Amino acid sequence: MKNVLACRLLPLFLLALFLPRPAHSVGNEGYEQMDFGVRAAKKGLWREALFRWERASKLLPDNARILNNLAVAYETAGEFEKAQAMYTEALRLAPDNRDIRQNHTLFEAYYKDLLARKEHDASPPPTPDSGKEPEKEPPDAPPH
């Protein structure tokens, strides 16, 4: 239960690290889209946030913060391959950014665990030896 709750709260925590800062010019549409996405995400409107951050990334393709926000949104939407690609690109653009590195590390650990669980759940159950008959209880065994 704690793990499920942590997984749901993690994107909000990660997003809080990248709240808009007032150093942007008011007329810059890319930053306006980014800020709009942050406000949407804070309200739980992740599809709207994703839409806004995708628009912002087209306007500011080399902005690591926008790519990090996109990664968080993709992660929240369960699109883990896209999230991984965005985190990787954000790290490429800002390799010294401690927050992006931390988000990426947390995501990688979660994603690795998720893939391991899926692999375990998908593995076929053991089958009895085909040459043996199943063991039967002796006729005088007490009822269960």
Residue 142, domain member (yes or no): no
Range name among 11-20, 38-47, 65-74, 98-107 with the lowest pLDDT average = 11-20
**Boundaries of domain holding 79:** 2-18+27-119
pLDDT at 41 over 90: yes
pLDDT at 33 over 60: yes
Number of folded domains in the chain? 1
Residue 15 pLDDT: 58
Confidence of residue 45 (pLDDT cuts 50, 70, 90): very high
Residue 132, domain member (yes or no): no
Cα(72)–Cα(81) distance, integer angstroms: 12
Residue 56 belongs to domain with CATH number: 1.25.40.10
